[in-house]
C-alpha cells in the first residue's frame, strides 16, 4: 500500500464549497445536526434519516455518530461549521422523545412523540406520489398555525421552529426555488403539535383536460374523436381541478419553469404530502443546552421556595466548578514554571560539564583522563566524608577507571609467558603413566576381594532351584537345552 498524503492537495484548496469561499448568505443561514442518542429502535433510526431530508440542504445529511461521542463534541465543532441548531431523538421504555436545542447555550425544548410515521409509510397511502429530487435542493417554507397563545413556552416554541429554517426575502425570492413547505399546527384543546411535510406544485387553471395535456406536452389519444376540435372544445375538467376552490387560485408574479404557468396567469397551488409525520407534546423547556434551569414543565409544578433552593444549589455548583477550574489553572502554571526551572538547571549543568571536559591549553580541546579521574575520586571521597562522617576505604574510590572487562588485560607475550608449561623428560612421563596404571589395577583387585568375601545367607531350597535353571535375556534355559 502507498503512503497516505498528509498535505492538502489542490482540489481541497480550490474547493468552492469550503468555508473560506462560502458566501455570507450561506454562512448566516441556520444549519443543524440531526442525530439520535442511546439505544433506539430501527424505526427511530429511519425517522432520523427522514427528518434530515426535511432539514436539507442546511444539515449534515451524511453525519456519522459513534457511541463514544458526547454532546460536547457536537458543541465544539458547531461554531466552526456554522451549525446553530440540534435535533436529537431519544427513546425509553415508555415513549420516544425529540429535543430541539440551540447552540451553544440553549434553550432546549423537549417533546414527547405521541405518534409518528415514516416517509415510506406516508407515500404508500397516496394514489399519486410526488417525487422530485430537485425539491430538496432548496430549504422549505415554514407555516406556523395557532401559536399565538399566552405564556413564555408558546413564544419559545414559535421562535425555535421559525429560526430553524432560513428567512425569505419576499422582494428577492425566486418562485422556482419554493418547492416544499413545513407545517406546525398547535391544537389548544389537547396541547399537541401536528408536524407535516408537503411538496408544492403549481398547475394552470381554466384549461380543459385536452388543452392541458397538449400544454404539458402529453400526447393524447385521438382515436375516439372524428375531429381535433372535439378534443379541444370539450368542457370537462380534471378531477383535481374540480376539487379546487377559489382560495387555492393565485396570480403568478413571475414565470415558472413548469409548463402552462405564465406570468400574470391564473394557477392553482396543490400540496402533496412527502412525510414524515409527527404528533408532539411539549414536556419541558430548559435554559441551557440539555441542561440548566427548567423554565417550563408540563407534568411537574414547584413552589417559589423549591425554585429558590434549586437555584441556590445550582449557583453553589457553578461556584465550585469555577473554583476547581481556577485551582487547576494555578497548578498548571506552577508546573510550567517548575518545568522551565528544571530545564534551565539542566542546561546550566550541561554547560558546566562541557567546561570541565574542555581545556583551553589542550590542542584537541580534551582533558587528560588521569586528571579527570583524580578529580572525580577526590569529589567522591569528599562527599562520602560529609554524608557518612568517616573516611572511605582505600579501594572504595579507585583512581583507575576500569575498562569494563572482567579480567585484567595483558598483552599476548605476558600471557604466553605465564601460561606456558615447562617440557618434561620422556622417561619421566613413561614412569608416571606406569605408576597410574599400577595404582588403578591394585584398586580393582581390592574391590573384587571384597565382593568374594561377601556371602549372603540364602536358603538351601533357593540355591538348588537357582542351580537347575538360569535366566538368560529374560527366558528360562534348562540343563541339556541350547539357547536359541
Q: How far is CA 153 from CA 160, 280, 283, in A?
A: 10, 14, 10
Report the alpha-carbon distance of residue 175 to residue 404 in Å, rounded. 91
User: What pLDDT is stored for residue 472 in this prediction?
Assistant: 44
User: What pLDDT is stored for residue 159 in this prediction?
Assistant: 93
Of 71, 117, 65, which is closest to residue 96 (Cα–Cα)?
Answer: 117
User: What pLDDT is stored for residue 238 in this prediction?
Assistant: 46
Residues 6+ apart with CB under 8 A from 479: 468
What CATH number is given for 24-160+181-196+276-297 in this structure? 3.40.50.10480
Low-confidence ranges of the chain (pLDDT < 70): 1-21, 206-247, 259-260, 359-378, 397-429, 438, 440-484
Average of per-residue pLDDT values in the chain: 77
Report the alpha-carbon distance of residue 104 to residue 83 in Å, rounded. 9
* DSSP output for 364-402: SS---HHHHHHHHHHHHHHHHHHHHSSPPPTTTS-SSPP
Of 287, 276, 279, 277, which is closest to residue 109 (Cα–Cα)?
Answer: 287
User: What pLDDT is stored for residue 242 in this prediction?
Assistant: 43
Please name the residue that has the C-alpha cell 487547576: 328
User: What pLDDT is stored for residue 367 in this prediction?
Assistant: 45
Altogether, the residues listed in the chain come to a count of 484
Report the alpha-carbon distance of residue 199 to residue 272 in Å, rounded. 5
- Helical H runs in 216-300? 228-233, 239-243
SS3 state at 37: coil
* DSSP output for 174-222: -GGG--EEEEEEEETTTTEEEEEEEEEEEEE-S--HHHHHHHTT-----
Burial of residue 282, with CB atoms counted within 10 A of its CB: 0-12 exposed, 13-18 middle, 19 or more buried: buried
SS3 state at 117: strand
User: What pLDDT is stored for residue 176 in this prediction?
Assistant: 84
User: What pLDDT is stored for residue 368 in this prediction?
Assistant: 45
Report the alpha-carbon distance of residue 323 to residue 329 in Å, rounded. 10
Amino acid at each position: 500500500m502507498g503512503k497516505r498524503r498528509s498535505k492538502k492537495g489542490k482540489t481541497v484548496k480550490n474547493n468552492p464549497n469550503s468555508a473560506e469561499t462560502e458566501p455570507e448568505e450561506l454562512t448566516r443561514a441556520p444549519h443543524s445536526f440531526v442525530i439520535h442518542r442511546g439505544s433506539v429502535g430501527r424505526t427511530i433510526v429511519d425517522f432520523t434519516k427522514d427528518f434530515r431530508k426535511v432539514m436539507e440542504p442546511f444539515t449534515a445529511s451524511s453525519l456519522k455518530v459513534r457511541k463514544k461521542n458526547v454532546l460536547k463534541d457536537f458543541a465544539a465543532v458547531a461554531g466552526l461549521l456554522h451549525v446553530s441548531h440540534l435535533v436529537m431523538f431519544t427513546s425509553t421504555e415508555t415513549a420516544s422523545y425529540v429535543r430541539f436545542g440551540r447552540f451553544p447555550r440553549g434553550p432546549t425544548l423537549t417533546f414527547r412523540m405521541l405518534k409518528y410515521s415514516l416517509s415510506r409509510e406516508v407515500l404508500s397511502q397516496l394514489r399519486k406520489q410526488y417525487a422530485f429530487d430537485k425539491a430538496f435542493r432548496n430549504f422549505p417554507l415554514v407555516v406556523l398555525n395557532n401559536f399565538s397563545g399566552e405564556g413564555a413556552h408558546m413564544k419559545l416554541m414559535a421562535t425555535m421552529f421559525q429560526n430553524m429554517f432560513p428567512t425569505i426575502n419576499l422582494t428577492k425570492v425566486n418562485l422556482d426555488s419554493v418547492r416544499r413547505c413545513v407545517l406546525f399546527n398547535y391544537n389548544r384543546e389537547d396541547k399537541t403539535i401536528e408536524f407535516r411535510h408537503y411538496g408544492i406544485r403549481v398547475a394552470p387553471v381554466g384549461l380543459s383536460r385536452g388543452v392541458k395535456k397538449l400544454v404539458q406536452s402529453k400526447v393524447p389519444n385521438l382515436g375516439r374523436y372524428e375531429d381535433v376540435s372535439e378534443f379541444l372544445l370539450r368542457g370537462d375538467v380534471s378531477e383535481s381541478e374540480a376539487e379546487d376552490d377559489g382560495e387555492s387560485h393565485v396570480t403568478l408574479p413571475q414565470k415558472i419553469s413548469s409548463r402552462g404557468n405564465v406570468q400574470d396567469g391564473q394557477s392553482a397551488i396543490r400540496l402533496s404530502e412527502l412525510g414524515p409525520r409527527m404528533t408532539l407534546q411539549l414536556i419541558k423547556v430548559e435554559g441551557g443546552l440539555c441542561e440548566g434551569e427548567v423554565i417550563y414543565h408540563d407534568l411537574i409544578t414547584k413552589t417559589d421556595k423549591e425554585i429558590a433552593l434549586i437555584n441556590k444549589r445550582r449557583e453553589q455548583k457553578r461556584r465550585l466548578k469555577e473554583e476547581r477550574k481556577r485551582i487547576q489553572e494555578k497548578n498548571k502554571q506552577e508546573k510550567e514554571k517548575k518545568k522551565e526551572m528544571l530545564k534551565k538547571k539542566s542546561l546550566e549543568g550541561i554547560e558546566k560539564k562541557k567546561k570541565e571536559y574542555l581545556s583551553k591549553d589542550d590542542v584537541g580541546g580534551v582533558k587528560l583522563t588521569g586528571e579527570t579521574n583524580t578529580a572525580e575520586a577526590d569529589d567522591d571521597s569528599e562527599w562520602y566524608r560529609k554524608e557518612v562522617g568517616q573516611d572511605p576505604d582505600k579501594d572504595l574510590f579507585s583512581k583507575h577507571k576500569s575498562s569494563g572487562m572482567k579480567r585484567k588485560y595483558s598483552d599476548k607475550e605476558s600471557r604466553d609467558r605465564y601460561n606456558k608449561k615447562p617440557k618434561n623428560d620422556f622417561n619421566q612421563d613413561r614412569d608416571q603413566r606406569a605408576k597410574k596404571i599400577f595404582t588403578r589395577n591394585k584398586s580393582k583387585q581390592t574391590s573384587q576381594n571384597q565382593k568374594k568375601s561377601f556371602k549372603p545367607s540364602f536358603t538351601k531350597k533357593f540355591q538348588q532351584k537357582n542351580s537347575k535353571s538360569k535366566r538368560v535375556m529374560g527366558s528360562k534355559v534348562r540343563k541339556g537345552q541350547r539357547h536359541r
